[in-house]
Amino acid sequence: MRNVKWLKSVIVAIILLLPLTALARGIDPLVSTDWLQKNLGNAKVVIVDVRKVEDYKAGHIPGAVNVFYGSWAIKKGDLLNELPPIDDLADVIGSAGIGKDSLVVIVGKTDKVPDQFDMTRVAWTLKYLGVPNVAILNGGQNQWVKENKPLSQDMVKAKAKSFKASITDKLYVDKAYVLDKLGKATIIDTRAPAFYEGKEKLAFVPKLGRIKGAVNLPVGQLYTPEGLYKDKAALAALAGKAAGNDLNKELLLYCDTGKTCTSWAFIMTEMLGYKDVKVYDGSSMEWLADPSAPAEP
């Protein structure tokens, strides 16, 4: 009798967990243009085009709603690409018609490698605010157009939803957190080697150099010459060289402003199985402006 009761309890637990499992696996982190075309009529799919409104008006994926990148990341003081207030982000998400059960596909342009990161910064932000099913269109709008898939010039107005943020703790961290983790966590600089090695910098970054002890995992390594993501095995090998193969270790990723590093952060958590990846939002722009923050070379 006890065994029967135990078995019933197990079955009930499995049934209760099934919706959560289905929700967590509702969409692959990278979706192809073919997948998206087949799912244009799926009521749960919300396509978010983060390009400028003039680009959106010139032609977009049918049904896509336009929420320009500047709504997702703002300037705070001297720092670029910082998180807006959580309430403002929640309003943006709700007005785009996104709910906790939505399958969200982020679409942007990929004219140049830096353009790719609008999509991943938005995807990481949605993950941070508690939207579990977020994907990036592999190749973005450019790949869709290249394949002569249908375009629309209709201005899509989403059916707004009331969205309440459920913050995923520590997906974004600040300078104080990184300072405390020096020598404890693996710190990954995702900039190009010349920037990591202190040979070059962007004009808005205060000085040459990197966070002390950081290892290099350039974002440019993510993509094929055609601007598509490399396959999972290739990405896992690249990540493993820098981060190691312990999927439970704490990883702190940064770049110049906290935007480009979200590309590796998204792939490492959503595709490669790393469980403790955090983005330093201030990144080099903030760290290298502080003479007391340990830097090299």
Encode the chain (297 residues) as per-residue pLDDT tens digits: 444 444 444 333 333 333 333 334 489 999 999 999 999 999 999 999 999 999 999 999 999 999 999 999 999 999 999 999 999 999 999 999 999 999 999 999 999 888 899 999 999 999 999 999 999 999 999 999 999 999 999 999 999 999 999 998 889 999 999 999 999 999 999 999 999 999 999 999 999 999 999 999 999 999 999 999 999 999 999 999 999 999 999 999 999 999 999 999 999 999 999 999 999 999 999 999 999 999 998
Beta-carbon count within 10 A of 166 CB: 12
pLDDT of residue 113: 84
Beta-carbon count within 10 A of 104 CB: 26
Which residue blocks in the chain are alpha helix, DSSP H? Answer: 2-24, 33-38, 53-58, 86-95, 116-128, 140-146, 175-181, 193-196, 232-243, 262-270, 283-287
Q: In sequence order, which residues have a C-beta less than 8 Å from that of residue 36 and are 6 or more positions away?
A: 45, 47, 61, 105, 137, 144
Amino acid at 105: V
User: Which of helix, strand or coil describes residue 107?
Assistant: strand
Its CATH class, for the domain covering 172-296, is alpha beta
Its CATH class, for the domain covering 26-146, is alpha beta
pTM score, whole prediction: 0.90
CATH 3.40.250.10 domain position(s) in the chain? 26-146, 172-296
Structure tokens at 183: 């020598």
pLDDT of residue 112: 86
E strand or H helix that includes residue 105: strand 103-107
pLDDT of residue 169: 81
Structure tokens at 141: 């709008």
